[in-house]
Amino acid sequence: MSESKRLFFAIELPAPMQRQIVRWRAEHFLAQAGRPVAAANLHLTLAFLGDVSAEKQRALAAMAARITQPGFTLHLDDAGHWLRSRVVWLGTRQPPRGLLQLASMLRAQAARSGCYQNPQPFHPHITLLRNAGQGVAIPPPGFLWALPVNEFVLYESVFARGRTRYTPLQRWTLGNTERNSDEV
């Protein structure tokens, strides 16, 4: 029997943006606020797939390759703290329609393939801190990163030697139609 991999679809952040976000996080959150996510692991999950066999991975990749939609721009201009999951996150006040459509398609395909999908509505975010307890002060509005999204990625998550590493396995390009495709 083939070994399974822990997979998810996500939007990759370019390394310079990862470094900018890490610097911003260091300026706005106390060191004891929570466990920081490594810069190289900062991403926006579109659909979590869980443990997937090689056969199911091929089927999901084939479905992902059939997605045709234009790229969009994601504006990272919101932050928050989910007390229940103990996560501090960076997100968007107005998710672009393209982002919501892409996540919806990937989550639906994953569900049809037997990958459990959380029934909670999709809340696009980048996890900044884990194990964040009570009283984490969230920076006031005024920050903004604009991320042009022209592709999405299938990642593998591997936990080894006390660390989690996300490795890109495959990429798909979004169509290059009108630049204003992210307008609602």
Annotated catalytic sites, by residue?
43, 125
CA-based max dimension of the chain = 52
Spatial distance between the Cα atoms of 169 and 9, rounded to a whole number of angstroms: 10
Given a contact cutoff of 8 angstroms between Cβ atoms, the answer to whether 107 and 64 are in contact is: no
Spatial distance between the Cα atoms of 167 and 55, rounded to a whole number of angstroms: 19
